[in-house]
Amino acid sequence: MEHPYVQYMYSYPHKKAYRTLFGTDLKSYMDRLSARENSLYFHIPFCQSKCGYCNLFSLAGQSEGQIEAYVEAMRRHAAQLSEILPEDVSFSDLTLGGGTPLILPENLLRKVFSIAGTFFGIKAGTQTIVVETSPNQTTKEKLCILKEAGVNRVSIGVQSFQEQELLALHRFHTAETAKKALDLISRMEFDCVNIDFIYGIPGQTTESLKASLQKGLEFEPEELFVYPLYVKPGTQLFQKGAECDGHALEQYAFVCEFLEAAGYQAYSMRRFVKQKKPQKHSKLPVSLCGFGNTISVGCGGRSYVGNLHFSAPYAVEQKQCRAILQDYIAQEDYLQVTHGFLLSGEEEKRRYVIRHILFGRGVCLRDYLAHFGSGVEKDFPLLLDWIKAGYAVRDEEFLSLTRQGFAWSDYLGPQLISDAVRRRMELSGGKAGRRG
C-alpha cells in the first residue's frame, strides 16, 4: 500500500511557488529585521555525489577552484548585506547547510566562519551555530575548526547502517565510515549531535530499521531526525522508477515506539529529542518559530524578511544548478531581489499556522489572536475537522496535533496550502497535494 504522505512542509510557501519579482530593492525591507529574532543561513551547495533522493540545490564534482570562487562570492554577498543592516540588528543563530559544508577545504571552511564573524557578528560562545556534515567528509581536522568557531550542534546524515539500504539510496559512504565519523564527533563533545535516518527505503524491514537505530543510539545523540523517503521528480531514484516502500507508516509507528522507549520525545513528525528527565505525561515545548527572519548567503538558500521571501530559482538537475551557480559567482549586485514571493495577509496566516501546528505545542490561541485579530479556528475551519478526526486537540491555550496527527503530518500539512500557491506549484511541476 502506498504511504499516505504528500510532501514535507518545512517551509511555506514552497520555492516552486516563487516567481520573477520586479523592482524589489532589499534595502527597503531591512527595517523589518529590527526588534525581531533573526537567523543566518549559509548555503554550501557542494557534495561528493548526488544522493538518489536529493531534490535540493546541490552540485557534485565541482573543482576546488570553483568552490573557492563561490566562497569569495559569498564574501561579496555578505559584505553588501552588512552595509544595509540597521545598526540594532543582531543574529541569534547561524546554520551552515547544503550540500555538504564539510566538503570545503580547511582554509575555505575557516574563511566561511570568518565571513560570518566579520559581517554579521557571529562569535564563538554567543550564538547557536549549526553545521551539517556527511560521514565521508567528517575529519578530525575539520571538527577542530568547528570547535574553534563555536559550533554547538553537528548534524550528520547517516540514513542507514545497512549497506544494501545505503546502495539503494545512492549514498556513497559505508556503515563503517559512518561509525568512524560518529566516533570522532562524539570525542569532540559538541553540545548537541543529531543523526539523520530514513525509513521507507526499498527493501528495508522493521528489523533492519531497528538495527540502524540501535547502532545510532550507541553514540548517545541528543537528537535524531527520522525522515520518510520521498521519490521526487528530478532525482536519480525517480529517473530509475523507484517507489517508496508501502510499509512506511508502519515503520514510522515502530520508530516512535522504539525511540520513546529509549527516552526520546517527538517534537515533530521527524524530530526526536533525548529527555534528560523522562516524564510520562510531559507536555511538548512551545514552538519558537513565529515571525522571525532569515537572511541567507549563497545561491541555494531562501531568505525571509517580513512578508518578502526570496531565493534563486528552484532547480534540481545538475545542468540548471551549474548555470545558477555560475550566475551567482558572476553577480555584482546582490541586493536586487529578482525571484521570490510577497505574502499577502492571508498567506502570512497560513505560514504561521503551518509553522506551528506541525511542530512542538502547536498554535498558541492567544498569540494568534493578538497577531491577526481573529481566531485560528474561524480562519481555518479545517482544523475543526482535524479535531473531530482525532488528528488534533484543543485546550484553553493551544491547538496542537495528537500523536496520530504527528504521524500524518505530511498528509495534513499540505491541506493548508492555499489554492493560489497550489496552482503556482503545479504550473512549476510541483504536483502540490499529490502523493510522491
pLDDT digits (tens, 9 = 90+) for 293-333: 999 999 989 999 999 999 999 888 889 999 999 999 999 99
**330-355 pLDDT, tens digit each:** 999 999 999 999 999 999 999 999 99
62 and 148 part of one domain: yes
Residue 292: pLDDT over 70:
yes
Gap between the Cα atoms of 81 and 411, Å rounded: 38
Gap between the Cα atoms of 145 and 109, Å rounded: 8
Give the torsion sign (CA, 375, 380, 383, 385): positive
115 and 225 part of one domain: yes
Per-residue confidence at 399, pLDDT binned at 50, 70, 90? very high
238 and 371 part of one domain: no
Gap between the Cα atoms of 393 and 59, Å rounded: 43
96 and 195 part of one domain: yes
Flag whether 346 is in a domain.
no
Per-residue confidence at 1, pLDDT binned at 50, 70, 90? very low
Average pLDDT over residues 117-122: 98
Flag whether 259 is in a domain.
yes
**Do the bridges between strand 398-401 and strand 363-364 make them parallel or antiparallel, or are there none, so unpaired?**
antiparallel
Gap between the Cα atoms of 274 and 107, Å rounded: 35
**205-241 pLDDT, tens digit each:** 999 999 999 999 999 999 999 999 999 888 889 988 8
Residue 135: pLDDT over 70:
yes
192 and 56 part of one domain: yes
How many Cβ atoms from other residues are within 10 Å of residue 420's Cβ?
Answer: 13
Flag whether 234 is in a domain.
yes
Flag whether 246 is in a domain.
yes
Residue 90: pLDDT over 50:
yes
**174-183 pLDDT, tens digit each:** 999 999 999 9
25 and 154 part of one domain: yes
According to the model, what pLDDT value does residue 124 have? 93
- What angle do helix axes 345-357 and 365-372 make, rounded to 10 degrees? 170
Residue 432: pLDDT over 50:
no
According to the model, what pLDDT value does residue 284 have? 41
- Report whether 199 contacts 228 (CB < 8 A): yes
How many Cβ atoms from other residues are within 10 Å of residue 64's Cβ?
Answer: 11
243 and 386 part of one domain: no
Average pLDDT over residues 387-399: 97
Average pLDDT over residues 247-270: 94
Helices (H), 101-139: 106-120
**30-59 pLDDT, tens digit each:** 999 998 999 999 999 999 998 999 988 999
Q: Which of 232, 256, 274 is the last residue of a domain?
A: 274
Gap between the Cα atoms of 422 and 410, Å rounded: 15
32 and 156 part of one domain: yes
CA angle 210, 10, 165 (to 5 degrees): 30
- CA distances 408 to 5, 11, 187, 415, Å, are 7, 17, 37, 11
- Report whether 265 contacts 282 (CB < 8 A): yes
**Do the bridges between strand 392-394 and strand 363-364 make them parallel or antiparallel, or are there none, so unpaired?**
unpaired
Q: What Rg, from alpha-carbon coordinates, does the chain have?
A: 21
Q: Which of 242, 274, 306 is the last residue of a domain?
A: 274
Look up the CATH number of the domain holding residue 267.
3.80.30.20
HSE-CB at 367 with a 13 A cutoff on CA atoms is 17
Strands (E) across 322-369 are located at 336-342, 363-364
Flag whether 341 is in a domain.
no
Length of the chain: 436
- What angle do helix axes 106-120 and 140-149 make, rounded to 10 degrees? 10
Flag whether 240 is in a domain.
yes
98 and 206 part of one domain: yes
Helices (H), 121-241: 140-149, 163-168, 175-188, 206-217, 236-239
Flag whether 51 is in a domain.
yes
Flag whether 282 is in a domain.
no
According to the model, what pLDDT value does residue 277 have? 56
Q: Domain count of the chain?
A: 2
252 and 365 part of one domain: no
Q: Which of 216, 248, 274 is the last residue of a domain?
A: 274
User: Which candidate, 37, 77, 50, places its Cα nearest to that of 301?
Assistant: 77
According to the model, what pLDDT value does residue 428 have? 79
112 and 251 part of one domain: yes
356 and 267 part of one domain: no
Top pLDDT among 283 and 37 is at 37
What string of DSSP letters covers 80-91?
A: HHHHHS-TT---
Which structural domain, as residue segments, surrounds residue 385?
352-416
